[in-house]
Amino acid sequence: MINLETPKKLRPLINNAHQVAGQMLRPNSRKYDLAEHAYPKELDMLAAMVDGLSDSGQSAGAGASGVRREEADGDSGKVRNGTNLASIVGVMEMCWGDVGLLLSMPRQGLGNSAIASVADDEQRERFDGVWAAMAITEPGCGSDSAAIQTTAELDGDEYVLNGEKIFVTAGGRSDVVVVWATLDKSKGRAAIKSFVVPKDTPGITVERLDHKLGIRASDTATIRLADCRVPQENLLGSPEIDTGKGFAGVMQTFDNTRPLVASMAVGCARASLEVTRDLLAEAGAEVDYDRPAHVQTAAAATYLQIEADWEAAYMLTMEAAWMADNNQPNSLQASMAKAKAGRMANDVTLRCVELAGSLGYSEHELLEKWARDSKILDIFEGTQQIQQLIVARRLLGKSSTELR
């Protein structure tokens, strides 16, 4: 059973991440929101520090690259608080500082999570230290990842990739791109595999960088693959097409990364709540936790309501990560956490803008920025609607063909 208290061994990580968020990320938040597509050079030193701590074992899992499933160690009765939970709490604190800057951290991309989730030991060692973006979405394929049209054909000891990918986070700055492609369109979702494609490989080009509503510090690219040849050993996981297993191979990536995105939403929303509570107090609308909501001001009652919504998303996110650490199937919980946290962050940040009035709508505070940033957290890694569909399938025991 999950313990509601923060594990003692993770508290130093949380404290360190919070200090970094408060002293480095948040002070630069507005700067790189206005300077879209400018690379945040301040992150180089931070990334080097995180790498050093990870290599020394002092902050294992302190970022996207830490997300993975650990093999059972033979003590089935022992509760683990491992790299998934460490990554979750660390990312929450960093996104309390700034979501866009966290997504711009070198070697901490969602592609790194994919490598950590499904790569074998040799691949993990070979790709250690790279900055990996993840390319799933296509012009004709958004929420339904099973409809991917990018192809990968085996030619000798190489795969030849052809297709176009859009909305690739860190696609312009990364060293490699984890590209999802199909080995055989006729075999459906079971044939979809992921490939690590170095950016200097002939045939892969960054077509453009997109302008966005939020997370402007993070670059979002369109990438084209034209007869792009990658070594056979760059395929992550098994090359076998198991129609009985279906989409399970690549879904393992989502089961680990969706709680990660949920934690970004939790961190961003918490930042809005804390600033709003202070602004309300300055205006004389103190939030009193010892009194029922109906006897407090309307502003305080609204605040208590949205804070409770945040608490629910926080607990779902922690549960999904804890289950992954303890080798429990968490596909349902991962989608529940992502669905709840994504929608919660949108609702909470917008309500905080309303509660703060003109201060919330202006650039005097970061509230309006957090409201803009939060929208993507309800969209990428599977939209709200897709998460609800997955949850319904899991609860009702329906397949993707039975419940669409």
Residues acting as catalytic residues? 381
In eight-state DSSP terms, residue 295 is G
Cα 259-262-267 angle, rounded to 5 deg: 125
In whole angstroms, give the CA distance from residue 74 to residue 80.
12
Measured distance CA(81)–CA(71) in Å, rounded? 13
Say which residues have a Cβ less than 8 Å from residue 357's Cβ, sequence separation at least 6.
none
126 within 8 A of 111, measured Cβ to Cβ = no
Query: What's the residue count for the chain?
Result: 404
Q: Count CA atoms closer than 13 A to 28's CA, side-chain side.
A: 24
Alpha-carbon distance of 67 to 33, in angstroms, equals 28
**Measured in whole angstroms, how far is the alpha carbon of residue 300 from the centre of its chain?**
31
Q: Which residues are within 8 A (CB) of 66 and not within 5 positions of it... i.e. 6 or more apart?
A: 54, 60, 83, 84, 86, 87, 90, 116
Structure tokens at 250: 């690549």
Adjacent-strand bridge partners of 180: 194
Token pair for residue 277? Answer: 């509570």
DSSP 35-48: STT---THHHHHHH
Asked whether the beta carbons of 89 and 15 are under 8 A apart, the reply is no
Cα dihedral sign for 238, 239, 245, 251? Answer: positive
Q: 180: burial class by Cβ within 10 Å (0-12, 13-18, 19+)?
A: buried
Paired tokens of 79: 């509760």
Place of tokens 């934690």: 263
